[in-house]
């Protein structure tokens, strides 16, 4: 396992991999992936579930007075979710250290709070979500506002991929946020002992709108500028991670299209929480949005701490 840097709480040896569960099939897939990752890295797996009793009590109102067992039933379900998730984690990774937590807080608030010192937070996404609403408010809130890195494991897609045969792919757009994505991507590639594919699209034009649109930059001036920008963004990282091979890919347009295509071959795609041209207060950019919904492998969203 790569040596842990200690300049951030997420890289401390004591930092756990936190995974949220709600008993769904998507959550089970997230637990499976998180347990494997925790075992490979010798980290504790922290399984959490938020009951959100405040919202439940507000919704029940006077009904709760008539049926005081409702809150007990909510607690019981939460404990069952946690027990089931822990059982799955032990089956997947028998030696992994497991810590469980059932809290009265809302799930999103709980996970965002735990992300402050977690190695990473892991959540599951179900189905081929056609709209953001289908992803769920908890997932969206944690991906947008979590600290460090948040990994989203899709329910649909290929088997869990690992090993040197599958690369880690990182999207680079030239913004300052790309550095957070690069830090996470190099760390992941080193941990997984695999190569890193750095993908840069010269502009945000939607690739899929134009049949026959070229997949390479034909203008030599633009091509040179794109390569120079990519080299500038990657400067220094090879020295920090000399054992991680880097493959550089530059495209004329369509970052979403290119990264989704690469996700078919990758074990992980890493993006920043907001890219170039992001609006103030919008903490997850359009590329991250699309990948969380449609990627064919897990997606990691890397956050900077600047907006905290």
Whole-number Å distance between alpha carbons of 70 and 65:
10
- Helix, strand or coil for residue 127? coil
Q: Report the pLDDT value the prediction gives residue 281, as an integer from 0 to 100.
A: 36
Q: So what's the pLDDT on residue 280?
A: 37
Q: Which tokens sit at 85? A: 């998730």
Q: What is the pLDDT of residue 252?
A: 82
Q: Are 247 and 199 in contact (CB under 8 A)?
A: no
Largest CA distance in the chain: 75
Predicted TM-score (pTM) of this structure: 0.85
Q: Of 172, 167, 261, 192, nearest to 33 (Cα)? A: 192
Of 93, 97, 103, 88, nearest to 48 by C-alpha is: 103
Give the integer Cα–Cα distance in Å for 27 and 155. Answer: 8
Other Cβ atoms within 10 Å of 77 Cβ, number:
15
Calpha distance 285→280 (Å, rounded): 11
Question: Could you list the pLDDT tens digit for every one of the 308 residues in the chain?
Answer: 444 444 578 889 899 999 999 999 999 999 999 999 999 999 999 999 999 877 766 666 655 544 557 778 888 999 999 999 999 999 999 999 999 999 988 999 999 999 999 999 999 987 554 433 344 788 889 998 999 999 999 865 545 677 668 999 999 987 777 899 999 999 999 999 999 999 988 776 655 555 556 676 666 777 788 788 888 889 999 899 999 999 999 888 778 889 999 999 999 999 998 644 443 333 345 777 788 888 999 999 999 864 33
């Amino acid at each position: 396992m790569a040596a842990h840097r200690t300049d951030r709480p997420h890289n401390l040896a004591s930092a756990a991999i936190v995974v949220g569960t709600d008993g769904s099939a998507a959550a089970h897939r997230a637990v499976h992936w998180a347990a494997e990752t925790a075992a490979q890295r010798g980290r504790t797996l922290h399984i959490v579930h938020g009951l959100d009793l405040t919202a439940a009590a507000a919704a029940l109102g006077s009904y709760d007075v008539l049926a005081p067992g409702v809150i007990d039933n909510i607690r019981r379900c939460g404990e069952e979710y946690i027990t089931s998730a822990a059982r799955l984690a032990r089956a997947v990774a028998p030696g992994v250290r497991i810590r469980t937590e059932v809290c009265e807080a809302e799930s999103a608030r709980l996970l965002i709070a735990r992300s402050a010192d977690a190695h990473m937070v892991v959540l599951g996404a179900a189905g081929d979500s056609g709209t953001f609403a289908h992803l769920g408010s908890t997932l969206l809130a944690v991906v947008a506002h979590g600290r460090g890195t948040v990994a989203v494991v899709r329910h649909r897609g290929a088997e869990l991929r690992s090993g040197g045969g599958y690369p880690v792919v990182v999207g680079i757009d030239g913004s300052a946020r790309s550095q957070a994505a690069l830090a996470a991507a190099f760390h992941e590639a080193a941990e997984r002992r695999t190569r890193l594919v750095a993908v840069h699209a010269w502009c945000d034009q939607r690739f899929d709108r134009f049949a026959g649109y070229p997949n390479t930059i034909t203008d030599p001036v633009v091509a040179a500028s794109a390569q120079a920008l990519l080299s500038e963004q990657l400067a220094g990282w090879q020295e920090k991670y000399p054992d991680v091979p880097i493959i550089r890919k530059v495209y004329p347009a369509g970052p979403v299209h290119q990264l989704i295509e690469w996700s078919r071959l990758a074990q992980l795609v890493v993006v920043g929480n907001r890219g170039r041209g992001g609006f103030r207060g919008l903490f997850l950019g359009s590329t991250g949005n699309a990948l969380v919904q449609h990627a064919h492998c897990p997606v990691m969203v890397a956050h900077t701490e600047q907006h905290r």
